[in-house]
Amino acid sequence: MTREPPAAQGRPFPVTVDAQLRETLEATGLEPADIERDPRATIRASVERDASEPIDVAARLAGEELEIHETLGEGGMGVVRGAIQPRLGRPVAVKELRPEHVDEAAVRKLVREAWVIGGLEHPNVIPVHDIRIDANGLPQIVLKRVEGEDWSALLREPDRIRERFGVEDVLEQNIRILMQVSNAISFAHSRGILHRDIKPENVMIGQFGEIYVADWGLAVAMEDDGTGRFPLARDVHTIGGTPAYMAPEQAWGGGRLGPWTDVYLLGATLYELVVGRPPHRGETFGALMHAIATSRPELPEDLSPALAALLRRAMDPQPTERFESAEAFRLALGAFLEHRGAARLVAGARASLDRLRELAGRADAAQDEVYRVFGQCRFACQQALEQWPHAEEAQDALREASVLLVERELSRGEPEAARALLAEVAEPPEALAARVEAAVEARVREESRLRGLARDLHPATGKRLRIWLASVVGVAWTLLPLTIEYARRTGWPMPHTGALTWNSIGVVALLIGGVAFWNRIKQSALTRRLWLATLTVSGIQLVMHGGDTFAGVDAMSTTIHQFPVWSAIALGLTVGVDVWFLVPAALYAGAFLLLSVYPELAFPLMSACNASVLVVVFRLSRRG
């Protein structure tokens, strides 16, 4: 049924307003204009009820006691039970002393714990609702009831952590829990309170993922607030805490406790998250105390270097070497998680680096495989540095990989490749850089020598000079024997002096030409050999004629005896210069045999053999 709005309101409703909505607005005493004016304001309907009812209920509950039910957990001296707080109708947890442990000291500790927690209003600290006296005159702490379990129970079943938090990476989730614990401890330190017993057992995980630091029974104050309510850290001279996690100063006492102590305990908790057990172990009390005092727990070999460094710093036996605060530790955990992707890349790079070390030291390792592994290592390091520019592990791995490859290229005689690789290394080792530069300089000298040798052996080098030399000497050696033969046939004698004169002229001419044209002669090995062979032949002839003159041997016999010498020289040129010299070598040898029967043919045969030499030399001179 619809109704028209009261006339007192003076404005009709818009026609678009539904009848039911109009009725609701009328009952609330509002008009559409009221909502249009401030749509973000809360609409509060006035419901007429008996105002005395809540007061009566409160009065009725004022004298009611807690309804204590089941036991939730037990500790060394206390027990925690579930209860209902009738005044507010809410479930709570009640911590009280076990009957067999009731004494003045235990009562004092329980009350102090309530005072400590009461002063720590923090999302990760279980709130204290009240402290009361039971029917036996003993104190009870009324706490928020956390529906959940302690962290240590979840650590034993990683699958439950995945299910509870909807994650796959259990370690990352546990570190995030530890960051919240660190936040609570940092807050406690800001209030002057040390926990002294941080461990997974003393962390509660709520049903909806809430994180609470519990059991503040060992907490002490760092400064005296004048109330005398709390024990002071400087007055603690006895052992206190959980040995499996304990900081060294907790074992020895002496009033040396401070924020660094809780930092150590946070590190010890992280150790359990990573390794799966607390850091300190020992078969005997002495062995356990030694493990606590030295604080050198073993770390897995495959542990991320970044996480290993974080653990070592948090658990350093010297308090001054630890993180300066719980907050600094929390931030370090956050940085580790932020750069964890980079850390995984570094781990992969280090695996490649191990393989590269193996390959780089093997001469038989395939170069393609070496560079493939190096490429994997370098790529992983570069990717890690893109994500985390200050990742020292990535920088060190990249540097070592590059140095390994530089060393290998040097050993393979590839200094240019070594120099190119070294150019990518930031601040390369000075000794290595010096070796690379020395190797490059040696390679430059060697290449220069090889280029000179190639030029020296190239047929085109000195070609024109060889043609000229071959033409002059060849024509002279071919025509001179014919001239001598003509003179002999016309009656001229054949004395040694004539031979000595012609050979002397030849030797002197070759020496003068060699000096004059040495810069051109030395440019080509072929030219040098031809010049030297010509000089050698002329020199041998000069020596033979000179020797035979003193021996009284006639000039014709000397001339005939020179044929096997020339054959031997031509044979040598076959090996050292060109195989075609085998032709004149054979001709000289054959002519010598023929001269044993027809000695008068010495000069014509000499001219013919010399002509063959001219042909071979001319052929060589034109090469290139």
**What SS3 state is found at 122?**
coil
Identity of the amino acid at 530: L
Annotation says 150 is catalytic: no
Closest Cα to residue 116, out of 107, 128, 133?
Answer: 128
Catalytic residue among 150, 197, 215, 262: 197
Residue type, 398: L
SS3 (DSSP) at 211: strand
Cβ-contact 496, 550 below 8 angstroms: no
Closest CA to 400 of 343, 341, 346: 346
First to last CA, the chain: 120
| Measured CA distances, 187 to 193, 221, 266, 349, 385 (Å) | 9, 13, 14, 39, 34
Close Cβ partners of 613 (under 8 Å, ≥ 6 residues apart): 474, 477, 570, 581, 584
d(CA 269, CA 77): 24
Q: In what order do the strands lie in the sheet with 67-74?
A: 67-74, 78-85, 90-97, 139-144, 128-133
Q: What is the Rg, in whole angstroms, of the alpha carbon atoms belonging to the chain?
A: 53
How far is residue 345 CA from its own chain's centroid?
Answer: 9
d(CA 192, CA 221): 6
* Alpha-carbon separation of residue 441 from 292, 408, 423, 429 (angstroms): 58, 18, 16, 18
Beta bridge partners of 376: none
- The strand pairing partners of 206, in sequence order, are 148
Active site residues: 197
